[in-house]
Structure 1
Amino acid sequence: MKSDDGTLTEAHALSKWCKLLREAAVKLGRPYIPTKELRNIMDKVGFTNIVEIRFKWPSNCWPKDKKYKDLGAWNNENTNLVLESISFAPLTRGLDWTIEEVNVLLVDVRKELNDPNIHAYWPMYAARL
């Protein structure tokens, strides 16, 4: 996750959560592919005429633009629904956390995820084939 205006910092639980998930994925032998590398990977395996499209996927309804406000609201709803399911396995199996430790972290992650004063987003990349 990122923010362009400094409202999301490394000190936030949301940033720590993302970092911990990446760390756990590496330990489990399933590292996440950085989105900025996808174009090169697609090219390497034979896709042609790739057009890379970059956009921001807001973490909640903080954007002023209606399109992105709606996108953020839906993204926030979906993320809140899967927060535990995408956190428990990596953090307990990859980093040996207890369920209780994960739950404590997720309390703060959820608060920040839902805070419209934190202008966080996931950088998204799409390819037109």
Structure 2
Amino acid sequence: MANIADIADIQVDPDVSTSSSDYDSIRSDLTSLTESVYSYIYENGRTYHAYRSGSYFLPNDEREQDRLDVLHHVFRLVHGGGLCQTELEHPQRILDIGTGTGIWAIEVGDQFPGAEVIGVDLSPIQPGWVPPNVRFVIEDMNQSDWSFAEGSFDLIHIRCLAGCLDDWTAFLRRCYDHLRPGGRIEVADCYPHLECDDDTWSNDSYLRTWQTEYHRITGVQGRLWDLSTCLKELVSEAGFENVELSEFRVPMGSWAKDPKLKEIGRYFRAQFIDGAVESYSLALFTRFGNWTSAEVQVLLARVTLTAGDTITFRND
């Protein structure tokens, strides 16, 4: 490291003005940038991110944040209390893409205090008080020019980004390029397939109506919302080796005999019926399905009132 006395002085450009108007301009730019991130869009009674508006179709308000934290608890229960399926040994740098409330990044930062953990999202909804090794960045990972150095992460963690990316092939390739040799990626998502084991789910139920319409509209919207048949292939095509696929069946409701599944089902049903159905419907149905907000709310009210405890949900 050079001695500060040996470093040449920074030269002043005589043609650059340092008037108060320059500082006012800087302050104006900062205010504008801040407003573009924090001035959320209000739609159908919910708030959505303003930065890169339209890139993500789920709300970012307090109700949605509560749901995401409950879903995080479901994932931990599925993983037997762990934060992910990937076994980590002394990681130095971890990237959490689509960090949401930041709960996973914070908890993995607590677990590995020697690692730098970076959470990335479109919405600045993460808490201000976090472990010293955790920080959050507002960035659109759909873009090709990531602000992180290539070959710099030991783990890239991705959860519930189905429907959020323009090009999964290009995205996964960028993930590959940003991992160190031997680095790992974990992609976790909930597959949108409701199934009934004992075949007692009525064909005319409102929940089935919702599911049918959801699949129709996501097909029209054009992004990849169902990773169930192609995720392993996509990851392999991006250059990753030794790709493993773990699948878990998650009950929706407390009907399961097994105590662990009973607890998982109780939490999953709460976040799905009382949260996810609306979160995944409002923007999609009104923007791409030609539904009015009132029509969506009527359907969701009927789903909430009539959804029973007899359905399992595949969570892979």
TM-score (norm 1): 0.82
- Give the Å deviation of 1:5: 1.1
How much identity, in percent, do the aligned residues show?
27
Summarize the Cα distance change of 1:36–1:111 in structure 2 as closer, same or farther, 3 Å threshold. farther
Question: Structure 2: which 5+ residue stretches go unaligned?
Answer: 1-193
Contact 1:35–1:124 (Cα < 8 Å) also in 2: no
CA distance in 1, matches of 2:200, 2:276: 24
Q: 1:11 aligned to 2:204?
A: yes
Q: 1:27 aligned to 2:209?
A: no
Summarize the Cα distance change of 1:4–1:36 in structure 2 as closer, same or farther, 3 Å threshold. farther
51-60 or 65-74, which deviates more: 51-60
Higher helix share: 1
Picking from 277, 289, 311, the partner of 1:83 is 277
Write the letter of the residue equivalent to 1:49: N
- Would you say how many aligned residue pairs link Structure 1 and Structure 2? 122
SS in structure 2 at match of 1:51? coil
Write the letter of the residue equivalent to 1:95: G
Question: What are the residue-to-residue correspondences of 1:1-129 with 2, within 5 Å?
Answer: 1-79=194-272, 80-113=274-307, 115-116=308-309, 119-125=310-316
- Give the Å deviation of 1:9: 4.2
CA distance in 1, matches of 2:241, 2:203: 37
Question: Structure 1: which 5+ residue stretches go unaligned?
Answer: none
69-78 or 30-39, which deviates more: 30-39
Write out per-residue CA displacement over residues 13-71 of structure 1, whole angstroms, 9 at most, x where no aligned residue.
21221221121122222241241321222222222212222221112112111111111
94-103 or 28-37, which deviates more: 28-37
Summarize the Cα distance change of 1:31–1:52 in structure 2 as closer, same or farther, 3 Å threshold. closer
SS in structure 1 at match of 2:275? helix
Contact 1:57–1:124 (Cα < 8 Å) also in 2: yes
SS in structure 2 at match of 1:67? helix
CA distance in 1, matches of 2:197, 2:275: 26
Summarize the Cα distance change of 1:6–1:33 in structure 2 as closer, same or farther, 3 Å threshold. same
TM-score (norm 2): 0.36
- Give the Å deviation of 1:12: 2.0
Write the letter of the residue equivalent to 2:266: A
Write out per-residue CA displacement over residues 64-121 of structure 1, whole angstroms, 9 at most, x where no aligned residue.
11111111111112111233222111111111111111111112211343x22xx212
CA distance in 2, matches of 1:29, 1:63: 36
Q: Following superposition, which runs of at least 4 residues in structure 1 exceed 6 angstroms of deviation?
A: none
Give the RMSD, CA atoms, in angstroms. 1.7
Summarize the Cα distance change of 1:45–1:64 in structure 2 as closer, same or farther, 3 Å threshold. same
